[in-house]
Amino acid sequence: MDAEERRKEILHQLSLTGQETMENLAIMFGVSTRTIFRDVEHLSMNHRIRCVRGRHGGGVLYEGRRIILSQKHYQLLERLSKGLSEQDTETMKDIMDALALRGA
């Protein structure tokens, strides 16, 4: 997983939970807490997330709009993606990732 993919997944995780520790994110993605800190710094330029201090290496708060669609909506978007060109399919995936869509 490259840095951009990891950052998308970090953002998705935060959109689901609202907050997470640096240590947990580091374990989830198999990287150091310093790497997570750099990722969060990068993400905070375009997203409403911020670092907070704490006993266990601190944490990250997501202050953006949390959007989670229903399983039915997610499945529809997946079905619609199958009829798209390769480039449009990739764009649809980016949109779904940006909206933090996951089937519940």
pLDDT in tens, 11-34: 888 887 888 999 999 999 999 999
What type of residue is 47? H
Res 3 pLDDT > 70: yes
3-state secondary structure 49-97: EEEECCCCCCEEEECCCCCCCCHHHHHHHHHHHCCCCHHHHHHHHHHHH
What's residue 104's pLDDT?
Answer: 39
All structural domains of the chain: 3-62 (1.10.10.10), 67-104 (no CATH)
pLDDT in tens, 63-93: 876 666 677 887 888 888 888 999 998 888 7
What's residue 103's pLDDT?
Answer: 41
Closest CA to 62 of 74, 76, 82, 47: 47
pLDDT band with cut points at 50, 70 and 90 for residue 4: very high
What's residue 25's pLDDT?
Answer: 94
pLDDT in tens, 46-66: 888 888 887 666 789 888 766
What residue has token string 């710094």? 41
